[in-house]
Amino acid sequence: MDAAETDAGLYRTMSTLRAVRRLRPDPVPDGVLRRVLQAACWAPTGGNRQPWRVIVVRSSEPKERLAAVYAPEWTRYTVPLRRRVERLDGRSRATLERMLAAGDHLAEHLAEAPVILLFCTDPAEMAFTDAELDRISIVGGGSVYPAVQNAMLACVAEGLGCTLTTLHCFREPEVMAALGIPDGWATAALVPIGYPVLGGHGPISRRGPGELAYDDTFGAPLRLGP
Ligand SMILES: Cc1cc2nc3c(=O)[nH]c(=O)nc-3n(C[C@H](O)[C@H](O)[C@H](O)COP(=O)(O)O)c2cc1C
């Protein structure tokens, strides 16, 4: 496939998927939500077992319970970041300050997001091919996070803002109780979605393959032709 045949729209979607933390409370139409959820369901999972579920939280009471968990964890998580801001200057400082302000807004207004997607998963059904290694297991997440990413890419395509968040995991039992998630399950991501207050998704800042991709062995600079 040459450059002309690639799906420019897909690349644009991937390259503009940034955290959008300021959301309008306007409802998300069911048809839009259905497409976002369908995109999540297209994600691959180990053995095609689809061991994840997503709870579409739209009612005030459970949203408020999630917000009551999230906000103090955001405050706690950002204590060192707020200290770091003081030591930064120039662009890095401005970037971190912007992120903190947007994160503060999300924490204060989480319950007003029209929809919160809570992705959970059943470890008993997940393929953990690294479970016996002497390190924390990483592979299991591969059977839920592609679904989260697909949903978020679909949000970009639909003009919806979204952010992958995980701070609720610090108080997972409260989240499980609030949403009736059965014992033995685990939560993977809390994704507030809604139409953006500001510009929504847009340019992102990421290191590229020159830094993150290697040639044959770890650390060897990758040489690619045109
Ligand atoms: C695994 C993971 C967990 C994250 N958890 C949170 C979170 O709890 N709260 C939040 O505001 N953002 C969270 N984020 C969003 C990142 O902070 C964000 O993607 C990153 O700072 C880059 O910003 P950008 O996507 O706007 O370019 C998380 C992202 C990932 C991938």
pLDDT in tens, the chain (226 residues): 555 678 899 999 999 999 999 999 999 999 999 999 999 999 999 999 999 999 999 999 999 999 999 999 999 999 999 999 999 888 889 999 999 999 999 999 999 999 999 999 999 998 899 999 999 999 999 999 999 999 999 999 999 999 999 999 999 999 999 999 999 999 999 999 999 998 899 999 999 999 999 999 999 999 998 8
Tell me, what's the pLDDT at 91?
Answer: 87
- Residue nearest (by alpha carbon) to ligand 1 atom 4: 165
Separation of CA 75 and ligand 1 centre (Å): 15
Classify 20 as helix, strand or coil: coil
Cβ atoms of 175 and 118 closer than 8 Å: yes
The angle, 0 to 180 degrees and rounded to 10, between the axes of the packed helices 145-157 and 30-41 is 140
Rounded CA-CA distance 156/2 in Å is 25
Classify 55 as helix, strand or coil: strand
Cβ atoms of 19 and 102 closer than 8 Å: yes
Cβ atoms of 23 and 101 closer than 8 Å: no
Pocket probe for ligand 1: among 15, 77, 149, 165, the residue whose CB has the most ligand atoms within 8 Å is 165
Q: What is the pTM of this model?
A: 0.96
- Residue nearest (by alpha carbon) to ligand 1 atom 25: 18
Tell me, what's the pLDDT at 2?
Answer: 59
- Residue nearest (by alpha carbon) to ligand 1 atom 17: 19
* Tokens linked to 209: 């393959």
Identity of the amino acid at 13? T
Separation of CA 2 and ligand 1 centre (Å): 33
Cβ atoms of 160 and 35 closer than 8 Å: no
Tell me, what's the pLDDT at 3?
Answer: 58
Cβ neighbours, 10 Å, residue 204? 11
Rounded CA-CA distance 226/223 in Å is 10
Tell me, what's the pLDDT at 23?
Answer: 98
Chain mean position to CA 213: 23
Rounded CA-CA distance 205/46 in Å is 31
